[in-house]
Amino acid sequence: MQETIQFTCNITQTERIAEVLRRAYTSVECFWVSKLQWMHTETENGTVECSVIPQYSMSREERDHALLIINKHVNYIIQKSDGTPESIMHEAAEWLFAHAEYDHDEQTQLLKSRANLVGAFIDGKAVCAGYSRAAAYCLLRAGYSAAYCVGEAGGVCHAWNAYVDSTGRLVFADVTYAVTANDDLMVENFLDMEAETVSTRITDSEDWYFAG
């Protein structure tokens, strides 16, 4: 697991934050990061040297053990799909609808596992971060890129996904809403949100953590 990420740049502070996030989250390990510590030093030639230290929600050994279980579920999801990113997103949501539930308990939802793949694929309890990371991981494992987006929806912190479908169209998907809005049926509309629905989610480009 990445211990320290170092790079040099000559961009503004806001752009630098975005670059820190992009570099720190451009790997499968983003699914286990619970916090980022970063620092920067300005050099005499005007560039900035940055160091990013990810803090993980579990050890490498725990992560590797968890992945043995998680990848069995994810491989099943991918195999059940027709191979397109939109089909994989659909099958991921179907699996989560059948096997996981949103953790509404204010105490247990603070557990780090609720916001990562363990909560979604092993514990069967997750919050929005766990759902959206699970969906992004399925796409990444199948060889596609996906963004894990964080911001606000309905006045509270929220997470969802963005990815490019097989036609080249940018799609916004909110797996959490899709699998929790109705107890009896998955709400498909949230897997390909209309512009009006997307507009209710507030975020900045700096908060789009690309998983791969």
Higher-scoring residue by pLDDT: 122, 57: 122
What token pair was written down for 134?
A: 């699970």
What is the per-residue pLDDT across 138-179, written as a single tens digit (0 to 9) for each?
A: 998 999 988 888 888 888 889 899 888 999 988 999 999 999
Q: What number does CATH give the domain 84-210?
A: 3.10.620.30
Residue spans of the domains in the chain: they are: 5-56, 84-210
Contact between 158 and 201 under an 8 Å Cβ cutoff? The reply is yes
pTM, 2 dp: 0.78
Write down the pLDDT at residue 149: 83
Mean of the pLDDT values across residues 127-142?
93
pLDDT tier at 13 (50, 70, 90 boundaries)?
low
Ramachandran class of 199: left when φ > 0, alpha when ψ lies in -120 to 50, beta otherwise: alpha
Q: What is residue 109's predicted lDDT score, i.e. its pLDDT? A: 74
Q: How confident is the model at residue 137 (pLDDT cuts 50, 70, 90)?
A: very high
**Winning range, highest mean pLDDT, from 2-6, 19-23, 74-78, 202-206:** 74-78
The pLDDT, as a whole number, for residue 206 is 41
As a whole number of angstroms, the distance between CA 132 and CA 155 comes to 18
Mean pLDDT, the chain, whole residue set = 83
Write down the pLDDT at residue 16. 66
**Integer CA distances (angstroms), 91 to 3, 78, 139, 179, in order:** 33, 8, 11, 12
